[in-house]
Amino acid sequence: MIALVDSNISNIGSIANMLNFLDIDFQLVTQPEELDNCDKIILPGVGAFDSVMSSLRTSGMDEAINEQVQVKGKYYMGICVGAQLLCQSSEEGKLPGFGWLPLTVTRFDAQQVARVPHMGWNHIEPGHNSALLHNMDEEYARFYFLHSYYIPHDDKFSGGVTRYGALFSAIAQRDNYFGVQFHPEKSHKYGMHLFQNFEAL
């Protein structure tokens, strides 16, 4: 069963709707102890880095997620800001992230791109061992993005990259945890396929 964590700062309803449509077994989780009932974790988040992390800290969910992922080895997928929390820190805020990746979330340079935020459909170039893109039509696969900050590309931690001014990790991954900068719940059949791939891990 997948734990869908409600951070109080996310578009959790649309994700739940897609999981229900796909008949994926999940539990909406609001309390840290509920994570014990699940073998995978999805953490969505929208808005500011510090706001999402502060909400997790208030409930004790940050420590619980860290234990479940780092100690017990459960699979984790963060979406949007939930992906950025994999990193040590963000230029957007002052609070530390989970720190599972030795990276700093960076803001797009408005001098290098048409506009900030990066908004709309974009393609992903798969990285090495890209489990979330398994059996996907890579030439045509595209996903919906909406973000002003990004996870810098590092080949050691990348399951897929996209270029918008800078080259960034659209999918960050390491060991049993993943972060997707795009919104799979808004990405139609490609998002559905990605959720199914995560369930199958």
Q: Is the peptide bond before 117 cis (omega within 30 degrees of 0)?
A: yes
Structural contact between residues 2 and 27, judged by C-beta atoms closer than 8 angstroms: yes
Q: For tokens 């199958």, what's the residue?
A: 200
In angstroms, the Cα distances linking 180 to 31, 84, 110, 141 are 24, 9, 22, 14
**Enzyme catalytic residues:** 80, 183, 185
Helix locations, the chain, DSSP H: 12-21, 49-59, 61-66, 81-84, 188-200
